[in-house]
């Protein structure tokens, strides 16, 4: 402070004003940094789920999460990762929240350490194949089923299909494997797969509805304070407005053909 006072005393009027402006700007910056530093951080592990969660950390669910974090007075930090890794990260307290979960339909082991928010998004899980006959994957014995990392156990339990028939990889790779004939069927959320097909498919792809499943978000079961804080914040967010464009995309027949 003595240094600044001496500088101002010896400076010309113009220099004095410049120094004052620099000091004021520095004070404002430091004040803002301190405020941001004091804001609790909400670290979220998200599986790619276009158009709800995109690779560049955008999407309808990302927009919703940002609105909830703002209402909760928290700073949102997003990490994109496979669903299987997200569950481990939540269990080991590397992240505070993960998504999307199959709302109320995860395995019993998952609910030993996780609790879902009240918020959920209606989604549809479909089967996709190059021929209509391969869509009936439940009746097969040798046919391979592709799904993104961390989803096979849930889908196997839901459809009563042996987990040995599932192949897990990234969504992009799984779709490519189906188009190349290396897996017979892809089973995952409708619009996520359709988004990939629009980029990758050069031939017609058939689909049918397997089940409508709501998508949710989960925190650690022992973090009841965070669960209540986020649920309270979510009640103040207009989720219908945020998700309206996506909901309109779901109004398709239960089965059909997607042209390239």
For 103-114, the pLDDT digits (tens) are 999 989 999 999
CATH 3.30.750.80 correct for 39-258: no
CA dist 117 and 122 (Å) reads 14
Q: What is the pLDDT of residue 36?
A: 52
In 3D, which of 183, 4, 216, 29 has the Cα closest to residue 106? 216
- Region for residue 259 given its phi and psi (left: phi exceeds 0; alpha: psi -120 to 50; beta: otherwise): beta
CA atoms lying within 13 Å on the CB side of residue 167: 18
In 3D, which of 50, 214, 195 has the Cα closest to residue 128? 195
CA dist 146 and 177 (Å) reads 8
What is the overall mean pLDDT for the chain? 88
Compute the average pLDDT of residues 189-216.
94
Compute the average pLDDT of residues 72-90.
97
* 19-63 pLDDT, tens digit each: 444 444 444 444 444 345 588 999 999 999 999 999 999 999 999
Q: Would you say 135 and 206 are in contact if contact means Cβ atoms under 8 Å apart?
A: yes
CA angle (59 as vertex; 230, 233 as ends), nearest 5: 15
Q: What is the pLDDT of residue 5?
A: 36
Out of 27-36, 135-144, 179-188, 245-254, give the one with best mean pLDDT. Answer: 179-188
Match 């194949």 to its residue by tokens.
Answer: 129
Compute the average pLDDT of residues 158-179.
95
Q: What is the pLDDT of residue 188?
A: 96
Q: What is the pLDDT of residue 250?
A: 81
Q: Which of 26-35, 90-99, 213-222 has the lowest mean pLDDT?
A: 26-35
CA dist 148 and 46 (Å) reads 13
For residues 237 and 9, the model is more confident at 237
In 3D, which of 68, 158, 82, 73 has the Cα closest to residue 119? 68
95 has a pLDDT exceeding 90 = yes
257 has a pLDDT exceeding 60 = yes
Q: Percent of the chain at pLDDT above 70?
A: 86
Q: What is the pLDDT of residue 248?
A: 83
CA dist 135 and 210 (Å) reads 9
């Amino acid at each position: 402070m003595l240094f600044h006072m001496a500088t101002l005393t010896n400076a010309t009027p113009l220099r004095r004003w410049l120094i004052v402006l620099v000091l004021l700007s520095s004070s404002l910056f430091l004040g803002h940094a301190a405020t941001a530093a004091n804001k609790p951080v909400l670290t979220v592990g998200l599986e790619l789920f276009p158009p709800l969660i995109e690779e560049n950390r955008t999407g309808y669910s990302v927009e919703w999460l940002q609105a909830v974090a703002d209402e909760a007075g928290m700073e949102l930090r997003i990490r994109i990762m496979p669903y299987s890794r997200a569950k481990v990260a939540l269990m080991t307290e590397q992240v505070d929240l993960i998504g999307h979960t199959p709302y109320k339909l995860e395995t019993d082991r998952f609910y030993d350490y996780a609790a879902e928010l009240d918020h959920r998004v209606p989604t549809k899980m479909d089967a996709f194949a190059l021929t209509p006959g391969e869509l009936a994957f439940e009746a097969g014995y040798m046919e391979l089923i592709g799904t993104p990392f961390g989803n096979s156990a849930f889908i196997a339990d839901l459809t009563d299909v042996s987990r040995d028939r599932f192949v897990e990889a990234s969504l992009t790779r799984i779709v490519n494997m189906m188009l190349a004939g290396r897996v017979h069927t892809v089973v995952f959320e409708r619009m996520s797969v359709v988004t990939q097909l629009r980029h990758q498919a050069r031939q017609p792809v058939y689909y049918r509805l397997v089940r409508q499943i709501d998508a949710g978000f989960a925190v650690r079961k022992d973090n009841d304070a965070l669960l209540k804080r986020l649920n309270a914040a979510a009640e103040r967010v207009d989720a219908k407005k945020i998700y309206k464009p996506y909901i309109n995309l779901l109004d398709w027949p239960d089965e059909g053909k997607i042209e390239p």
